[in-house]
Amino acid sequence: MPKQVRTLSVYRKLIERSPEFRLVSPELTKDLARRIGFEEIPTSGEAILPQVVGKATSFNSQGKEIVRRDLPMETYSRMIHTSWQDWHGKEHTGIQNRDYEAYPRDFIPPPEEKLTAVEKDGKLVAASRVIRRDEPEADIVVLLNLFLEIFPSFDVVAPDLAAPLQVRSVKWNILPPGEFPFDRARRELDSYLKKLPKDERAVATERIRTITRHSPDFVAVGVGGFSDYVVFGFTGQQRYVLESPHTGNATYVFRDDWEQISGYTKREILQGGLQEERLIHNKRWSRAIGELINRP
């Protein structure tokens, strides 16, 4: 079985047998469920944006950028973790902002295809949505590549699986309530931060330190394809800060209530328009985030 396809390839004849179909995984074991992004074997009806395990899942949940080498370079700013010496020769380590030149990039939004746990022949499997044969080939290829990347095998089946009456999307794991000073936030987010490269982890930790200075009263960690986001809630100020640790991403600040935010898709978050502000991680970020959280 190929690891990735660019066209319908060897699956074309199989797919063309029916006007509609679904892709389904083998029976879900704990290992397969966790590979998708569930903490345990899900119940029938739970749907999730698969977590990143490779190129296909990365594009599905995060989108991708096309470098525009046909355009002039532009100046950008980013936070980095580095060491330097002061004029006494004493060495310091910390976060600095650096300007750099780079080509502009066009962003292709993520498809955000979810997988749903459903019953098939008395077994729990992960299934795609119902796919129409006449859909754009590129959309079907996205789903094929997801299944090729995540599972050791998959089946193409008729669409009439025993799906539950209501599908529940799993996006966020809300941590135990209470005050979240930096030490507690860092401890609670330890497994989240450990996934990052060392230098990126140091930058993310400093941003968490800055946000927690303003005393959030709850924290939620993304699950599956949302695992690159943490939400810091400031309910008294009616502010909700969505922070991503990855260099180059932005911080989103919302005024909406938590229930409304939890319903947003990543595409809605990334494309913007629903947030109060979108703050790029640059030299003005630390001051701007405090002003936004405490703005009347």
Helix axes 137-150, 55-62, angle to 10 degrees: 130
Rounded distance, CA 290 to CA 237, Å? Answer: 12
Q: Return the residue matching tokens 């630390």.
A: 286
* Amino acid (one-letter) located at 141: V
* Main-chain dihedrals φ then ψ at residue 173, nearest 5 degrees: -110, 105
With H, G, I as helix, E, B as strand and everything else as coil, classify residue 149.
Answer: helix
With H, G, I as helix, E, B as strand and everything else as coil, classify residue 251.
Answer: strand
Rounded distance, CA 56 to CA 27, Å? Answer: 21
Contact indicator for 192, 230 with CB cutoff of 8 Å: yes
Per-residue pLDDT of the chain (296 residues; tens, 9 = 90+): 567 888 888 888 888 888 999 999 999 999 999 999 998 999 999 999 999 999 999 999 988 889 999 999 998 877 777 777 767 767 767 677 778 899 998 988 899 999 999 999 889 999 999 999 999 999 999 999 999 999 999 999 988 886 665 778 888 888 888 888 889 888 888 888 887 777 788 888 888 999 999 999 989 988 998 888 899 999 888 899 998 866 556 888 888 777 777 788 877 877 767 788 888 887 788 889 999 998 88
pTM for the full predicted model = 0.84
With H, G, I as helix, E, B as strand and everything else as coil, classify residue 103.
Answer: coil
Rounded distance, CA 81 to CA 92, Å? Answer: 11
